Amino acid sequence: MSSTTPNTIPTGSVTYYNRVLIRHLANHVGQVVELYGWLYNRRSSGKIHFLEIRDGSGLVQGVMGRNDVDEATFALADHTPQESAVKVSGTVSQHPKTGAVELHINGFEVLSQAGEYPISHKEHGVGFLMDNRHLWLRSSRQHAALTIRSELCLAIHQYFHQHGFVQVDAPIFTPNACEGTTNLFETAYFDDKAYLTQSGQLYMEAAAAAFGRVYCFGPTFRAEKSKTRRHLTEFWMVEPEMAYATLDDVMDVAEDFMVYLIGHVLTHCRPELATLERDVAKLEAIVKPFPRISYDEALELLKQHGSEEQQVPWGEDFGGDEETVISNQFDRPVFIHRYPTQCKAFYMKEDPTDPKKSLSVDMIGPEGYGELIGGGQREDDLAVLEQKIAAHGLPKEDFEWFLDVRRYGTFSHGGFGLGVERTVAWLCGLHHVRETIPFPRLLDRLKP
């Protein structure tokens, strides 16, 4: 379990904190403890019951010998259904070589007997598990992935606070289409309409003029019609924005940030990565600098290594398959910069050496995880930005406030957005982003 959560139990005024957690059992070897949890799994040899107990903080094997408890308790433990709520007491022991902790049970009480639990320890189909997502969360792999997500979120906040960023929360209801008009979720807003935000960026640009270095971190929404392993309709994005930053600064920060995040997860989530059977050597190998190639160079790589269908005509964006071919040429994330202006959002600054190109950048993850980060340097010239808004068919009146950022002391600035779920999927080695968020929202799924 995570070692950022204190390894010793804070005692003092709040009695609840005096409860022993399974995560901390190694601190209680030789002691008698009492645990509150659920029965995760049960095996029996006739004379001994092996009862796996989970309490949310971890999982421990309990051993109950026939002579350790009275007959009725031994019989009860033999028939207690999976996921029943239990109170267990016993002595903690630790294997001298493996370090594995066990509980020698001498007290076992069923607080609430569970009905027949739908998720057994055999294989289930993904559709069934997703229908039971509210229960699936209790399974050890899901628990591990979501613990890593929690640690990643903590590391994200830590990184930005350590580097002088101020957290500025962006609104969820917005009149502005930040990332194009094709995947907007529209909602009634009293007598008007609003969109669920696609990105907090425009607000961060305004906030960067107030605070210099800012970030927002929250849910964002896109009506993605595509069913892929990388797309959710509701996903979490962290978006730093930096005053007086250039495209190179954006890449420097994104790279440093990513290395920090990986380091944090490797330091604090070893047991979870082991549960997920993640090949951690691949993560340990990731060091700065990350390769930086231009869009044009990426097209060349596709020519060399891609199939016929993967040849992208100049001007078009890459799809997931093309990103994978490109990223497979590297052992760490790769930056692709200076995409054609025509395939990027209206706010991207044009490359001063070639207006057909933009000062944009994507970070593509290794092992086929696709685009983890998208960002760039922003257009800071009022007249150019006004033209872009018109050219993209966006209603100027809704962007007047955003144009004010250019009217009153405009400044070079840039930033990026990191998708939390894709990053968790990569760090955990999970195939699909649906397992990286507690309650995923997908094209065909709004429940549970």
Q: Which residues contribute to the site for Mg ion (CB under 5 A)? A: 374
Binding partner of 361, given ligand 4AD, Mg ion, none, CB within 5-8 angstroms per partner class: none
Of the candidates 220, 249, 200, 274, which has an alpha carbon nearest to the alpha carbon of residue 414? 249
Distance (Å, whole) CA 269 – CA 146: 11
We find the least distance from the C-beta atom of residue 340 to ligand 4AD, in angstroms, to be 15
Kindly tell me which of 17 and 401 has the beta carbon lying closer to ligand 4AD.
401
Q: Where are the alpha helices (DSSP H) in 280-409?
A: 280-284, 295-305, 320-327, 382-391, 396-407
Kindly tell me which of 261 and 372 has the beta carbon lying closer to ligand 4AD.
372
Q: Is the CB of residue 108 less than 8 Å from the CB of residue 64?
A: yes
Which element (helix H / strand E) includes 33? strand 32-44
Pairing of strands 101-112, 59-65: parallel
Kindly tell me which of 226 and 267 has the beta carbon lying closer to ligand 4AD.
226
Distance (Å, whole) CA 407 – CA 383: 10
Binding partner of 421, given Mg ion, ligand 4AD, none, CB within 5-8 angstroms per partner class: ligand 4AD
We find the least distance from the C-beta atom of residue 201 to ligand 4AD, in angstroms, to be 4
Kindly tell me which of 180 and 263 has the beta carbon lying closer to ligand 4AD.
180
Of the candidates 382, 418, 427, 428, which has an alpha carbon nearest to the alpha carbon of residue 402? 382
Tally of CB atoms within 10 A around 36: 16
Kindly tell me which of 231 and 388 has the beta carbon lying closer to ligand 4AD.
231
Only one residue has tokens 């993640």, namely 278
Q: Where are the alpha helices (DSSP H) in 285-339?
A: 295-305, 320-327
Quick one: tokens of 235? 């996903």
By beta carbon distance, the residue nearest Mg ion is 374
Distance (Å, whole) CA 277 – CA 266: 13
Kindly tell me which of 1 and 237 has the beta carbon lying closer to Mg ion.
237
We find the least distance from the C-beta atom of residue 109 to ligand 4AD, in angstroms, to be 44
Residues that bind ligand 4AD (CB under 6 A): 178-179, 199, 201, 222, 224, 231-232, 235, 237, 239, 371-375, 415-417, 419, 421-422, 433
We find the least distance from the C-beta atom of residue 384 to ligand 4AD, in angstroms, to be 18
Kindly tell me which of 93 and 317 has the beta carbon lying closer to ligand 4AD.
317
We find the least distance from the C-beta atom of residue 352 to ligand 4AD, in angstroms, to be 20
Lay out the sheet containing 192-196: strands in order across: 173-174, 192-196, 186-189
Distance (Å, whole) CA 303 – CA 297: 10
Distance (Å, whole) CA 137 – CA 145: 10
Binding partner of 199, given ligand 4AD, Mg ion, none, CB within 5-8 angstroms per partner class: ligand 4AD
Binding partner of 174, given ligand 4AD, Mg ion, none, CB within 5-8 angstroms per partner class: none
Kindly tell me which of 237 and 269 has the beta carbon lying closer to ligand 4AD.
237
We find the least distance from the C-beta atom of residue 360 to Mg ion, in angstroms, to be 8
We find the least distance from the C-beta atom of residue 319 to Mg ion, in angstroms, to be 12
- The three-state secondary structure class of 62 is strand
We find the least distance from the C-beta atom of residue 215 to ligand 4AD, in angstroms, to be 9
Q: Is the CB of residue 165 less than 8 Å from the CB of residue 240?
A: yes
